[in-house]
Amino acid sequence: MRPVLVLTHVHYEGPGLIAPGLDTPLRVRTVVGDPAPRLPALDELAGIVVMGGPMDADDDAGFPGLAAERRLLAEAVEADVPVLGVCLGMQLLGLALGARLHRRHGTEIGFGEVDVVAEDVVLGPLGTRPTVLHWHSDAIDLPAGATLLASNDATPVQAFRAGAALGVQFHIELEPSMLDLWLGTPDLVGELDDEAVAQIRSDGARHLPTLVPAARKLVAAFADQVQARG
């Protein structure tokens, strides 16, 4: 079985519940600061997962490895390699497919609903109006030829599919322990007051018992695509 490449960007935004759900070897890499990273060839991989991070998806001057990530994602979509992009990962996927990034489009931090507007075999387990965790201020347009899967008023493109690639703006990897980590990470909560942090913690206790099982089913559906590639 070929491995899945997992691209991370900061230490606190790992793959979370995605990793055990894939049930396949993983190659976890952080190349965001490398201007010339050596990434695996597509024929070596069963799939690609791209996680979140605080940087802008087009900030190649500050984070030169992003350009290589986008090139790999464009090639993966062309080659029909299963891809799952989360938050920054979705924005990188959108840029790779020619969409426009909107910096500071609108901040969403905390739990809130999205409307699932089209059926998708991988996204489907979340249902039609799931409550998910948002943590972003940038937004991406829908790439040409892609299918819009989820939306809300603040961020019109919350999820899309392009061939074998799925991008989700919200955090489906989250488990309670990861939320605890995030709420204790100054880089993430530094601009939030104590009341906002307490609200996210309370909302997590209420919504994660429903969201986590659904997210695990989502990952299992993605894992089926990875296993089929082998």
Active-site residue identified among 13, 69, 108, 173: 173
Here the tokens at position 99 are 């969409």
Beta bridge partners of 166: 84, 161
In the predicted model, what is the mean pLDDT of the chain? 97
CATH says 4-229 is which class?
alpha beta
DSSP state string for 52-91: --SS-TT-TTT-THHHHHHHHHHHHHHTT--EEEETHHHH
Of the candidates 30, 22, 68, which has an alpha carbon nearest to the alpha carbon of residue 52? 30
Active-site residue identified among 13, 69, 87, 108: 87
pLDDT value for 18: 98
Is 87 among the catalytic positions?
yes
Amino acid at 225: Q
Amino acid at 207: H
pLDDT value for 175: 95
Share of the chain above pLDDT 90, in %: 98
Here the tokens at position 133 are 């965790």
Strands of the sheet with 83-86, listed across from one edge = 26-29, 4-7, 47-50, 83-86, 165-168, 159-162, 147-151, 115-116
Contacts for 34-40: CB closer than 8 Å, 24+ residues apart: 34/64, 34/65, 34/68, 35/64, 35/65, 36/68, 37/65, 37/68, 39/5, 39/68, 39/69, 39/72, 40/5
Backbone phi, then psi, for 186, in 5-degree steps?
-55, -35
The pairing of strands 147-151 and 47-50 is unpaired
- Indicate if the pLDDT at residue 190 is higher than 90: no
Is 171 among the catalytic positions?
yes
Question: How does residue 230 score in pLDDT terms, banded at 50, 70 and 90?
Answer: confident
pLDDT value for 134: 98
Which residues are within 8 A (CB) of 153 and not within 5 positions of it... i.e. 6 or more apart? none
pTM over 0.85: yes
pLDDT value for 191: 86
Amino acid at 53: G
Which residues are within 8 A (CB) of 28 and not within 5 positions of it... i.e. 6 or more apart? 6, 8, 14, 15
- Indicate if the pLDDT at residue 163 is higher than 90: yes
Here the tokens at position 74 are 């464009």
- Indicate if the pLDDT at residue 210 is higher than 90: yes
Is 173 among the catalytic positions?
yes
pLDDT value for 33: 97
- Indicate if the pLDDT at residue 192 is higher than 90: yes
Q: Where are the domains of the chain?
A: 4-229
CB 101 within 8 A of CB 138: yes
Average pLDDT over residues 205-226: 98
